[in-house]
A and B are shown apart, each in its own frame.
Chain A
Amino acid sequence: MTLLGQFCLWLALIASAWGAGVAFAGRWRTRPELAGTATASTYGVCAALLVAAACLWKGLFAHDFNIEYVAQYTSRNLPEYYVFSAFWAGQKGSLLFWATILSIFGATVQTVTSRRHAELMPYVAGITNVVVAFFILTMLFAANPFERLPFTPEDGRGLNPQLQNPGMTIHPPMLYLGYISITIPFAFAMASLLSKRLDTGWIHAMRKWTILSWLFLSAGITLGMWWAYVELGWGGYWAWDPVENASLLPWLTMTAFLHSVMIQEKRGMLKRWNVGLVVASFLLSIFGTFITRSGIIASVHSFAQGNVGTFFLVFLILITIASSALLYARWPLLEPEAELESLASREAAFLFNNLALVGIAFSVLWGTLFPILSEAVQGTKITVGPPFFNRVNVPLGLFLLALTGIGPLIAWRKASAANLQRQFIVPSVTGLVVAVALLAIGIRDGWALAAWTLAGFVLGTVGQEFWRGIRARVKIHGESVLLAFNHLISRNRRRYGGYIVHVGILTYFVAFAGMAFKVTQEVTLSPGESAELKSPYGHTYRFTHLGVSQYDQLNRWVSAASLDVRKDGVPQGRITSEKRQHKDSFGRNTFEPSTEVGIWSNAREDLYVVYAGSVGGTDRATYAISINPLVMWVWLGAGILIVGGLITMWPGGAVVGSRRRTGVEAGYQTPLTDAAIGSRPEGAGIGS
């Protein structure tokens, strides 16, 4: 199996090299059959890598512990679904996963993209092939998943217990899907520069890919937060760890791109900036992998180190040079077609939004790299932590949140005073009502007040947009409110889907601000003793230690401690947290013990109990107990955001035709009609 896998890696490498070679040599311009082989090479690469991936999965399921990777990440007693997910548990498998998924995307993009863009496609194939080839080369020469051991262990080491969590089986692939799919927009940007087809064609061709990768990133990041929250046991979901930051960086630049690209579509401005953002997003996705894999920055999420980092660094440098040179060469062709007409315009709001997003990205990058930078400049390492990131990003984030509410209210090109007045009253009043209500119930935390007030303002904006749209439909078409709501979204997916995404974002902000009111306590209790915590809502929780029980379960030994919970004296039930020691099938300990946090969640707050160990093996136990307000709204925000994103990219519309053509053409319909409406000077709030 490993031989076949190995062979397929080489086969894929040759096919991708061929495709890239043909694409960049340029001879295919006059010879259509060559162009055909360039695009067809992506199918070959994809097929070969799928076989290679199947080989690794076969090895995993067959418990072939002679394969180093299988021995490292699985054991005989590991549940089957974790055997499946062990594919991406380690570095080598992750690389294969990455290459395989990218080759699937690379082949898919060749199939689904309209013939209209035929001139771009060989270049797109060339770029995706180069990136795939890089991953294959890294595997073959630095981290081969098919490596065999000089002997066969009786059993494997098993999967890290912290990875034995349903969230962890989907978090890495989700994040990888986000990282990987950025390659497609990058390939289109490069293809448009290479082919000098610099109209908005490439943007239309890849629009859905940008939303897709943004959605994958959003979901991946949130799943990571969820995993950290339930598995790491420190009571929070975001610690500004380098690995977390690395995933946030491309998300920020992609978010900036999703907004600024609308200015290019409608006004022909920001062409250079947009190419720059796509390139930056791609580089940051590779950079993210580089810093997680190279270990150059100390992180609690430690992964394997080795020369894989060097491969990534070299690739990063080469891509930076090549793409900057190409952008520089095409610079004169990317003249803007229009100028900014007024600061009171949608364009200006989007520009400020872009500056804020890029500013946040820059500060996060700066803070993440600061230990390296300071050591290089001053000779001493200086680190910055959560206080730095919060200090810089809380104000910037709130500025961004304000723009989320302002942007949709201002017309394109130039808004009149009357228009501004008409648009801003409802949202501003909503925000004010929220602020007054919060002050009335005694909230005095400045940042939290600002966040919730702005969230109210944004909600007012979105509500007003929906309400006006529905009212117009009811009036004109005589539809019921529900039907009008339905049609409003389905006839204008991009705009209203976008608003729903905004609601998701403001929900995250509401949840983040809630953590300012977190209360926490560490206690050591004998059975019968209890601790009291006052919740931010003014309730008193009483936690009484019931005792510690120990037992064997599945592939682990468990020591569980339970607390009886009373809220204002009313019994709520029993909350349990565990220490687990995982074992292999011979009963030997694998890994260090891990903690299973006890969490009770509702819309107001989470009770979060960590059993930190017993005193000398007795029934006396140490706990960390926290009350975390509004945590559930983070996960809810992610749900809303994903629904909105899916609406935005849902194929179809009113176009008649075969299913595939409908999907492709719909991508053109929306921006064109939007542009037509949005270019009316008083078309405030119309157009996405």
Chain B
Amino acid sequence: MKASTRFVIGAAVIVAGVGALIATGVKETGIYFLTPSELLAKTQADPGFHDVGLKVGAKVVPGSVRRDQATRTIDFRVSDGSSEFPVTYTGLVPDTFTDASNIEVIVEGKYGRDGVFHATEVLAKCGSRYESELPKARKA
């Protein structure tokens, strides 16, 4: 067998390996990323969704955050403008997490049958974090 043929076989094995790793990786670790409306629609259509771990991207409802520092529990509500539900989380949240000004969060966990989202992870990102809001500028 020619060396180049052997190489093509070796290369095919590597490419197939990478492909298989990606495919099974996506299948086994990929999780839904939904808006609150999508989540509510899905759980209504199929109650089995209450048991599926997923991520929700939404905004924290201003003024809804209740912290219990002693138990490190944080309760808050999230909304996408049309749907809203409460979230409970035990653990540390990033500094960016506040309920000051409509910050965006990504919560990971399960939307329980009790109507509360039990989060295992809370990521916060804040539009004003790196860029502040200033009145409309004019050209120099």
Tell whether A pairs with B: yes
Whole-angstrom distance between the Cβ of B3 and the nearest chain A Cβ: 5
Q: Can you name the residue of chain A whose Cβ is closest to the Cβ of B125?
A: A302
Binds A, one of B19-27, B80-88, B112-120: B19-27
Whole-angstrom distance between the Cβ of A57 and the nearest chain B Cβ: 16
List, in ascending order, chain B residues with CB within 8 A of A359's CB: 14-15, 17-18
**Contact indicator A610/B92 (Cβ below 8 Å):** yes
Does chain A have a CB within 8 A of B95?
A: yes
Binds B, one of A416-424, A614-622, A675-683: A614-622
**Contact indicator A149/B92 (Cβ below 8 Å):** no
Does chain A have a CB within 8 A of B30?
A: yes
Given known pairs A68-B134, A341-B3, A352-B10, the reply for A384 and B29 (CB within 8 Å) is yes
A356–B13 CA distance with the chains assembled, in angstroms: 11
**Contact indicator B134/A149 (Cβ below 8 Å):** yes
**Contact indicator B132/A157 (Cβ below 8 Å):** yes
List, in ascending order, chain B residues with CB within 8 A of A616's CB: 69
Whole-angstrom distance between the Cβ of A649 and the nearest chain B Cβ: 30
List, in ascending order, chain A residues with CB within 8 A of B34's CB: 380-381
Q: Which residue of the partner chain, among B6, B10, B33, B129, contacts A160 with CB atoms under 8 Å? A: B129
List, in ascending order, chain B residues with CB within 8 A of A530's CB: none
List, in ascending order, chain A residues with CB within 8 A of B15's CB: 355, 359
**Contact indicator A592/B126 (Cβ below 8 Å):** yes
Q: Can you name the residue of chain B whose Cβ is closest to the Cβ of A149?
A: B137
Q: Can you name the residue of chain B whose Cβ is closest to the Cβ of A5?
A: B140
**Number of residue pairs A-B, CB distance < 8 angstroms:** 181
**Contact indicator B18/A392 (Cβ below 8 Å):** yes
List, in ascending order, chain B residues with CB within 8 A of A382's CB: 26, 30-33
Interface string of A588-625 (1 = CB under 8 A from B): 00011111000000000000001011111000101010
- A residues 196-252 near B (Cβ < 8 Å) are 232-234
**Contact indicator B30/A384 (Cβ below 8 Å):** yes
Given known pairs A68-B134, A148-B137, A592-B98, the reply for A302 and B26 (CB within 8 Å) is no
Q: Which residue of the partner chain, among B4, B25, B123, B136, contacts A391 with CB atoms under 8 Å? A: B25
Does chain B have a CB within 8 A of A370?
A: yes
- The secondary structure that dominates the B interface is mixed
Does chain A have a CB within 8 A of B127?
A: yes
List, in ascending order, chain B residues with CB within 8 A of A367's CB: 22, 25-26
Q: Which residue of the partner chain, among B33, B72, B137, contacts A383 with CB atoms under 8 Å? A: B33
Q: Can you name the residue of chain B whose Cβ is closest to the Cβ of A595?
A: B95
List, in ascending order, chain A residues with CB within 8 A of B57's CB: 298
- The secondary structure that dominates the A interface is mixed
Given known pairs A233-B95, A352-B10, A395-B21, the reply for A339 and B3 (CB within 8 Å) is yes
- B residues 1-15 near A (Cβ < 8 Å) are 3-4, 6-7, 10-11, 14-15
Interface string of A367-389 (1 = CB under 8 A from B): 10011001000001111110110
How many residues belonging to B are interface residues under a CB distance threshold of 8 Å? 54
Q: Which residue of the partner chain, among B10, B11, B139, contacts A147 with CB atoms under 8 Å? A: B139
List, in ascending order, chain A residues with CB within 8 A of B43's CB: none
Does chain A have a CB within 8 A of B46?
A: no
A387–B136 CA distance with the chains assembled, in angstroms: 42
A71–B94 CA distance with the chains assembled, in angstroms: 26
List, in ascending order, chain A residues with CB within 8 A of B134's CB: 68, 71-72, 149, 157
Does chain A have a CB within 8 A of B48?
A: no
Does chain A have a CB within 8 A of B102?
A: no
Q: Can you name the residue of chain B whose Cβ is closest to the Cβ of A163?
A: B130
Does chain A have a CB within 8 A of B70?
A: yes
**Contact indicator B95/A593 (Cβ below 8 Å):** yes
Whole-angstrom distance between the Cβ of A613 and the nearest chain B Cβ: 6
How many residues belonging to A are interface residues under a CB distance threshold of 8 Å? 79
Does chain A have a CB within 8 A of B37?
A: no
List, in ascending order, chain A residues with CB within 8 A of B33's CB: 298, 371, 381-383
A300–B137 CA distance with the chains assembled, in angstroms: 27
List, in ascending order, chain A residues with CB within 8 A of B3's CB: 339-343, 345, 348
Q: Which residue of the partner chain, among B26, B29, B92, B139, contacts A612 with CB atoms under 8 Å? A: B92
**Contact indicator A392/B132 (Cβ below 8 Å):** no
Q: Which residue of the partner chain, among B30, B104, B106, B127, contacts A388 with CB atoms under 8 Å? A: B30
Q: Which residue of the partner chain, among A3, A6, A352, A384, contacts B14 with CB atoms under 8 Å? A: A352
List, in ascending order, chain A residues with CB within 8 A of B136's CB: 150
List, in ascending order, chain A residues with CB within 8 A of B96's CB: 300, 592
List, in ascending order, chain B residues with CB within 8 A of A233's CB: 94-95
A591–B129 CA distance with the chains assembled, in angstroms: 7
**Contact indicator A72/B131 (Cβ below 8 Å):** yes
Q: Can you name the residue of chain A whose Cβ is closest to the Cβ of B68?
A: A615
A594–B100 CA distance with the chains assembled, in angstroms: 15
Given known pairs A303-B130, A522-B92, the reply for A351 and B7 (CB within 8 Å) is yes
**Contact indicator A148/B125 (Cβ below 8 Å):** no
List, in ascending order, chain A residues with CB within 8 A of B17's CB: 359, 395
List 20 A-B residue pairs with CB atoms under 8 Å apart, sorted by A's residue number: A67-B140, A232-B94, A302-B104, A340-B3, A345-B3, A352-B10, A356-B14, A362-B22, A363-B25, A370-B30, A371-B33, A382-B30, A383-B32, A385-B29, A387-B25, A395-B21, A522-B72, A522-B91, A592-B129, A622-B69
Known: A340-B7, A359-B18. 20 other contacts (CB 8 A): A3-B140, A68-B137, A148-B137, A150-B138, A232-B94, A300-B94, A300-B96, A300-B124, A300-B125, A302-B125, A302-B126, A343-B6, A343-B7, A348-B3, A351-B11, A384-B26, A387-B25, A388-B29, A392-B18, A396-B21
